[in-house]
Amino acid sequence: MTNGPLPSNTDIGDVDDNDDNSSSSEMKHLAINTLQHIQQLQPPHFIVHIFSNNGCFLWEWIRYMLFHKSSYNLQNKLLGIIFDSAPAYFHGKVEGLQSALEYVGDKEQRDKLIKLARSLDTNRVKRRHNEFWNGLCNDTYGSENIPQLYLYSDCDELANVKYLEELIAYRRQQMSGKERVWSRKFVGSSHCGHLKKYPTEYEESVGNFLEFCTAADGFRRSRL
């Protein structure tokens, strides 16, 4: 998380586009490409569906561009966001980052990343995580009332259920209309493995959420 995108005091223009090793720059350009692609498709509406913390890092940039920079004129088309196994709370130990890297498929790349994780500045990692977590708890970019669905597990070693449920409860307090924050807890599924273990239940949860998001505004308000 050290080089994750968009610390709270950072502007998009502050990121060095020439830094090939900057994950922040990579996420910035991925967000730009994603929004440009959506704009080219000209859909009436769209939903963001992200996985794990990398997905959250991308969401940070998309949210920033849409609601802080007011770029792409897509704000009113975004109807909801789905968090799968995200966000993951960091406990302050670099070993936690190393365990996350075990999901990297390529062994050579995984070994390099684990070596890099061991060399990270722990204080910097903690500081970045606090910015990341607080940014998701306290949405200040104007997207705070967009419906959200959290899909998570009771035994996810990366996305700890205790912290996730605390965040969900807090978001329900912050948002106007508690029904805008949906959640589904699965039993025994691995990180980002809920669809594989519970395909029917997963599809049902997402389907019900999409129906809510795409319903007429008047109908949605009547349920809140």
Q: According to the model, what pLDDT value does residue 101 have?
A: 63
Q: What is the pTM of this model?
A: 0.79
Q: How far apart are CA 210 and CA 207, in angstroms?
A: 5
Q: Given CATH 3.20.20.70, say whether it is the number of domain 21-223.
A: no
**How far is 55 from 196, CA to CA, in rounded Å?**
19
pLDDT tens, the chain, 224 aa long: 333 333 333 443 344 444 444 567 888 999 999 999 999 999 999 999 999 988 999 999 999 888 887 777 898 899 999 999 999 887 655 565 566 666 666 677 767 766 766 666 677 777 887 888 888 888 766 666 889 999 999 999 889 999 999 999 998 888 766 788 999 999 999 889 999 999 999 999 999 999 999 985 544 443 43
Q: Which two tokens stand for residue 2?
A: 């050290």
| CA–CA dist 49, 84 (Å, integer) | 8
User: Residue ranges of the domains in the chain?
Assistant: 21-223
How many C-alpha atoms does 180 have within 13 Å on its Cβ side?
21
